[in-house]
């Protein structure tokens, strides 16, 4: 009984990790705790739809895993994936009927769909933990939890496109997204269930999961960028989000270690948690790292690509490669406050040959290149006349030190080569690095 209570508390804490995540990234329109709890309870209750379907609809007619690839794939997609996705989205549909007026921006749809999924997965967690023991806590805390949110978020994305983006055949889009969610869920489970993949299926599941993280990141980013309340003054502190999630998962690892001590020796528990940290820890870092990075560009719909959330960067000077997480690795919280404001641009070097001295500047726009690099279009004024300015680009300094006095951001100043360039990003053809400068507020 005490173990069931412990597993229930851990399952609730796992859900809270991602509820808090949405609270941190929902920067334009805050949501109430009452609505969060309601969505969570509806999601938890939707598990009984699955139970009821198996007991009263599939009674005696259910598919079973038998090693036949088509049978097992159908089992995973339709009997597991489609049924569970229907249950979770039905819970959200009830929430939608009750609180439709509360859903005001795209991220609201993703948040409450994900919370319904968190309620569903929390009930699942207690069942699986009770059956298999605490050793699986960390794996389910990241893979299953985020997987449930991602799968149902595909359906939510169809709803978002329907409401916030003019799409032809919008109702068909929602249906297609439901089928894609069922497929995504089924493929994840198929790798784990298919008997011929018993030894290596977990590896395919992890690789597949990492690809879905990249898709989830784009869906989240597009939702935030297309909020009707969008403002560059509202920022996501990516470093803070990452640190908060990291601490949460450290607590999960600690809880798992303590629970394994109840049935195993200290030596065995230390060895088990060490393997968990190495194995699951990498997945946690990649997941929270990618999901804490955002490019906040008003009205931007980034295309969804199937890719891993990491990349290999070669260092020709040292003849080696290093792995880095995709997405901008600078904290937009430092530069975005300068958007659409006047500020001073001061050269870092005292021997500056380009800026030479501190100059007045104005930040007009923020754009993203084809390589997903963020640039800021600025005016730099010459003399006292406000009409006398040149167009330049700023690119955040990605290596340390990238802050002056731990307070003001440092950026690369790029000279636009074509003099006729305007603040329209399409008019900027070529640019060249000139020097590093620090952004200083006028006050």
Per-domain boundaries in the chain: 2-311, 332-441
Using the predicted structure, report yes or no on whether residue 50 has a pLDDT greater than 70.
yes
Whole-angstrom distance, CA of residue 112 vs CA of residue 107: 9
- The string of pLDDT tens digits covering residues 330-367 is 667 788 889 999 999 999 998 898 999 999 999 998 88
The residue with greater pLDDT, 443 or 238, is 238
- Is the pLDDT at 254 greater than 90, yes or no? yes
Q: Which of 207, 188, 191, 210 is nearest to 199 (CA)?
A: 191
pTM of the model: 0.90
Q: Give me the residues paired with residue 364 across strands.
A: none
Q: Given the structure tokens 């530069």, which residue do they identify?
A: 335
Mean pLDDT value across residues 202-225:
96
**Which of the four pLDDT bands, split at 50, 70 and 90, describes residue 420?**
confident
Q: Does 92 or 239 have the greater pLDDT score?
A: 92
Q: Tokens in use for 402?
A: 């990238």
- Beta-bridged to residue 412, according to DSSP, are 395, 436
Q: Which residues contact 416 (CB under 8 A, 6 or more apart)?
A: 390, 391, 392, 393, 428, 430, 431
Nearest CA to 394 out of 441, 333, 438 is that of 438
% of the chain at pLDDT higher than 90: 65
User: Residue 27: pLDDT band by 50, 70, 90 thresholds?
Assistant: confident
Predicted confidence band of residue 323 (pLDDT cuts 50, 70, 90) = confident
Q: Is 435 helix (H, G, I), strand (E, B) or coil?
A: strand
Question: Are the beta carbons of 392 and 380 closer than 8 angstroms?
Answer: yes
- pLDDT score recorded for residue 167: 62
Residue 396 backbone class (left: φ over 0; alpha: ψ -120 to 50; beta: rest): beta
pLDDT of residue 324: 84
- At 316 the pLDDT is 47
- In the predicted model, what is the mean pLDDT of residues 396-403? 85
Question: Which of 26-30, 83-87, 148-152, 240-244 shows the lowest per-residue confidence on average (mean pLDDT)?
Answer: 26-30
> Could you tell me which residues are beta bridge partners of residue 380?
361, 390
* Arithmetic mean of pLDDT, 399-418: 88
């Amino acid at each position: 009984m005490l173990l069931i209570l412990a597993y229930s508390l851990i399952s609730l804490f796992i859900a809270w990790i991602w509820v808090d995540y949405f609270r941190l990234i929902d920067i334009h329109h805050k949501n109430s705790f009452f609505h969060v709890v309601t969505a969570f309870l509806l999601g938890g209750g939707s598990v009984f739809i699955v139970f009821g379907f198996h007991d009263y609809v599939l009674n005696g007619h259910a598919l079973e895993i038998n090693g036949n690839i088509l049978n097992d794939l159908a089992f995973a997609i339709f009997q597991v994936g489609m049924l569970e996705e229907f249950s979770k989205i039905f819970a959200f549909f009830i929430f939608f009927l009750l609180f439709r007026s509360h859903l005001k921006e795209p991220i609201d749809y993703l948040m409450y769909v994900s919370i319904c999924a968190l309620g569903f997965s929390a009930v699942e967690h207690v069942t699986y933990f009770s059956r298999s023991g605490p050793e699986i806590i960390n794996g389910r805390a990241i893979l299953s939890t985020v997987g449930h949110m991602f799968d149902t978020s595909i359906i939510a994305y169809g709803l978002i496109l329907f409401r916030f983006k003019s799409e032809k055949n919008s109702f068909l889009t929602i249906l297609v997204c439901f089928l894609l969610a069922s497929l995504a869920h089924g493929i994840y489970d198929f790798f784990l269930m298919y008997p011929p993949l018993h030894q290596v299926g977990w590896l395919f599941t992890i690789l597949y999961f990492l690809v879905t993280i990249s898709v989830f990141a784009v869906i989240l980013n597009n939702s935030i960028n297309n909020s009707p309340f969008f403002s560059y003054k509202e920022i996501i502190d990516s470093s803070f989000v990452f640190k908060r999630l990291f601490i949460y998962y450290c607590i999960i690892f600690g809880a798992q270690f303590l629970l394994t001590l109840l049935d195993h020796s200290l030596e065995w528990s230390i060895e088990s948690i060490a393997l968990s940290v190495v194995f699951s820890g990498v997945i946690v870092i990649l997941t929270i790292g990618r999901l804490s990075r955002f490019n906040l560009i008003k009205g931007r719909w980034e295309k969804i690509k199937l890719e891993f959330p990491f990349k290999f960067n070669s260092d020709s000077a040292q003849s080696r490669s290093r792995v880095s997480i995709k997405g901008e690795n600078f904290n937009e919280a430092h530069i975005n406050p300068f958007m659409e404001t006047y500020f001073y641009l001061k050269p870092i070097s005292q021997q500056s040959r380009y800026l030479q001295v501190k100059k007045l500047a104005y930040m007009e726009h923020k754009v993203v290149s084809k390589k997903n690099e963020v640039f800021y279009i600025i005016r730099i004024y010459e003399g006292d006349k406000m009409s006398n300015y040149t167009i330049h680009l700023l690119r955040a300094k990605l290596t340390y030190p990238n802050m002056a006095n731990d307070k003001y951001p440092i950026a690369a100043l790029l000279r636009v080569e074509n003099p006729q360039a305007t603040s329209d990003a399409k008019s900027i053809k070529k640019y060249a690095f000139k020097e590093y400068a620090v952004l200083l507020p006028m006050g």
